[in-house]
């Protein structure tokens, strides 16, 4: 009776996480624009697809069904491989939360070496062994407590080092992100998810050490809980998965004549922006805009020691100037969206001031504040 209950529980858990993941994948696919740029959406899509559709399925089949000993061992090895891939995809998400598309070489070189060692260890005799409490194995549905997979010393050591290293790396990245984040309040979900993620990793290491099936089952159930919380964050708060350490200081909109149409200052700490320095920079931008707005060699980025100044030109005779601590593709995408909304909102006003001799009433653009807050709400 207990055996049947356990089969039912793991089957329900698998079906539940499958449904949650399919819904999340469909949401990411249909709302990819909410994740900043397509690359971020694709990375999150692949992470969920790998963890739920591939890893969970391989795990479920290899502990519930029996084909042949060699096939079951192959399925278990594949689950390990895709489990490692899932950890690396997850670490990329954390890395890009810290700084978009900037991958630290040493940690990932270390992980790739361990991944290669794992693949190599699979060619060793008895790297993964299959055992069962059944004297005569039934062909299909089994109680997973009757099936066990054990590892030789080298394979078990590689897996333990790999997973332990990832846990340490995740907590290190979480600390750095929290320390540098522009809005620490939005990090609550990420921090909780990181803490929850510790449990399935720990359970798998205990499974390797003690070779007891109960730790294996605790691993998958806790992993499914972790994935569920991640799916919730992906659907409810997709803006979290932009670069959390990226900050915006100012957004200015200039007419092609160099006249400032609107200026918006974001909340920053007292020491982040020196008004005298930025005053000089903005005067320089005025000249740049008036000189280059009709040329092919338009300046798009100005760099200082601590900040980047991004210039986005529009054919309607205005330019958006954004001052940030670091340029990235997400900001460029947001600026493009903002320029479109600004152009649509003030199309008549912009058309009227195409003539440089026309008097410009900047008060007509006071509603720009709402457009900025709508497009850059994740940076407020």
Q: Are residues 156 and 208 in contact, defined by beta-carbon separation less than 8 angstroms?
A: yes
How many other C-beta atoms are found inside a 10 Å radius of the C-beta of residue 89? Answer: 17
- In this structure, are 256 and 218 located in the same domain? no
Which of 201, 217, 241 represents a domain boundary (last residue)?
Answer: 241
Does one domain contain both 193 and 327? no
| Domain boundary residue, one of 241, 259, 276 | 241
Are 233 and 292 in the same domain? no
CB of 263 closer than 8 Å to CB of 252: yes
CA 99 – CA 245 distance, rounded (Å): 7
Asked if residue 196 and residue 270 are part of one domain, the reply reads no
Q: Which of 241, 270, 290 is the last residue of a domain?
A: 241
Q: Is 118:172 a contact under the CB 8 Å cutoff?
A: no
Q: Are residues 282 and 344 both part of a single domain?
A: yes
pLDDT tens track, the chain, 380 positions: 445 566 778 888 999 999 999 999 999 999 887 787 788 889 999 999 999 999 999 999 998 888 888 999 999 999 999 999 999 998 888 887 777 667 788 888 999 999 999 999 999 988 999 987 655 555 555 555 578 899 999 999 999 999 999 889 888 888 887 777 766 666 777 778 788 888 999 999 999 998 888 899 899 999 999 999 889 988 988 877 665 667 888 888 988 777 889 989 886 544 455 554 555 465 556 555 555 555 555 556 667 667 788 888 888 888 888 888 777 777 888 888 899 999 999 988 888 887 777 788 888 898 999 999 888 877 76
Indicate if the alpha-carbon torsion angle 56, 159, 119, 131 is positive or negative. Answer: negative
Residues 151 and 261 in one domain: no
310 beta partners = 301, 322
* Domain with 314 in it: 248-379
> Which pLDDT belongs to residue 153?
93
Residue 290's Cβ-count burial label (10 Å; 0-12, 13-18, 19+) is: middle
Structural domains counted in the chain: 2
274 and 149 inside one domain: no
pLDDT at residue 291, rounded to an integer: 53
The dihedrals phi and psi of 333, each to the nearest 5 degrees, come to: -65, -45
274: exposed, middle or buried (C-beta count within 10 Å: 0-12, 13-18, 19+)?
Answer: exposed
pLDDT value, residue 286? 57
Which CATH number goes with the domain that contains 252?
Answer: 3.30.450.70
Answer yes or no: are the C-beta atoms of 119 and 98 closer than 8 Å.
Answer: no
Please give the backbone phi and psi of residue 250, each rounded to the nearest 5 degrees, phi first.
Answer: -140, 150
Kindly report the length of the chain.
380
Q: Residue 136: its pLDDT value, please?
A: 55
Distance CA 172, CA 223 (A): 20
How many CA within 13 A on the CB side of residue 174?
20
Domain match, 233 and 173 both: yes
CB neighbourhood size of 200 (10 A) = 21
Q: Are residues 222 and 308 in the same domain?
A: no
**Same-domain status, 88 and 170:** yes
How distant, in Å, are the alpha carbons of 73, 258, 262, 283, 320 from that of 358? 78, 13, 18, 22, 21
Kindly state whether residues 73 and 176 are assigned to the same domain: yes
CATH number at residue 80: 1.20.1070
Tokens of 269: 């700490």
CB 38 within 8 A of CB 112: no
Run of H or E residues at 254? strand 248-255
CA-to-CA separations, 374 to 121, 322, 369, in angstroms, rounded: 52, 16, 9
> Do 281 and 211 belong together in one domain?
no
Where is 264: in which H helix or E strand? strand 260-265
Q: Residue 14: left (phi > 0), alpha (psi -120 to 50), or beta?
A: alpha
Q: Which two tokens stand for residue 378?
A: 């994740």
**Predicted TM-score of the model (pTM):** 0.76
């Amino acid at each position: 009776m207990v055996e049947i209950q356990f089969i039912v529980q793991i089957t329900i858990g698998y079906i539940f996480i499958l449904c949650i993941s399919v819904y999340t994948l469909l949401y990411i696919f249909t709302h990819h624009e909410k994740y900043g740029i397509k690359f971020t959406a694709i990375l999150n899509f692949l992470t969920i697809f790998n963890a739920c559709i591939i890893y969970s399925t391989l795990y479920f089949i290899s502990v519930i069904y029996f084909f042949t000993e060699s096939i079951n061992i192959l399925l278990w090895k594949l689950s390990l491989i895709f489990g490692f891939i899932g950890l690396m995809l997850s670490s990329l998400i954390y890395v890009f939360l810290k700084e978009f598309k900037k991958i630290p070489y040493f940690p990932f070189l270390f992980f790739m070496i361990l991944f290669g060692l794992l693949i190599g260890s699979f060619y060793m005799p008895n790297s993964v062994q299959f055992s069962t409490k059944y004297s005569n194995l039934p062909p299909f549905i089994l109680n997973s407590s009757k099936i066990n997979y054990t590892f030789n010393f080298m394979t078990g050591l590689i897996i333990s080092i790999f997973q332990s290293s990832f846990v340490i790396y995740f907590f290190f990245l979480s600390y750095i992100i929290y320390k540098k984040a522009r809005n620490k309040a939005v990090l609550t979900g990420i921090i909780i998810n990181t803490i929850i993620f510790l449990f399935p990793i720990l359970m798998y290491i205990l499974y390797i050490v003690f070779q007891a099936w109960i730790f294996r089952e605790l691993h998958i159930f806790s992993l499914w809980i972790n994935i569920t919380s991640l799916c919730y964050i992906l659907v409810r708060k997709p803006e979290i998965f932009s670069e959390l350490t990226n900050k915006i200081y100012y957004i200015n909109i200039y007419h092609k004549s160099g006249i400032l149409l609107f200026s918006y200052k974001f909340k920053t700490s007292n020491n982040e922006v020196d008004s005298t320095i930025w005053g000089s920079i903005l005067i320089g931008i005025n000249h740049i805009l008036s000189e280059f707005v009709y040329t092919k060699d338009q300046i798009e980025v100005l760099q200082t020691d601590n900040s980047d100044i991004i210039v986005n030109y529009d054919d309607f005779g205005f330019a958006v100037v954004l001052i940030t601590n670091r340029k990235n593709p997400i900001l460029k995408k947001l600026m493009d969206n903002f320029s479109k909304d600004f152009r649509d909102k003030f199309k008549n006003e912009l058309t009227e001031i195409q003539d440089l001799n026309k008097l410009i009433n900047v008060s007509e653009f006071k509603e720009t504040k709402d457009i900025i807050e709508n497009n850059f709400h994740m940076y407020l």
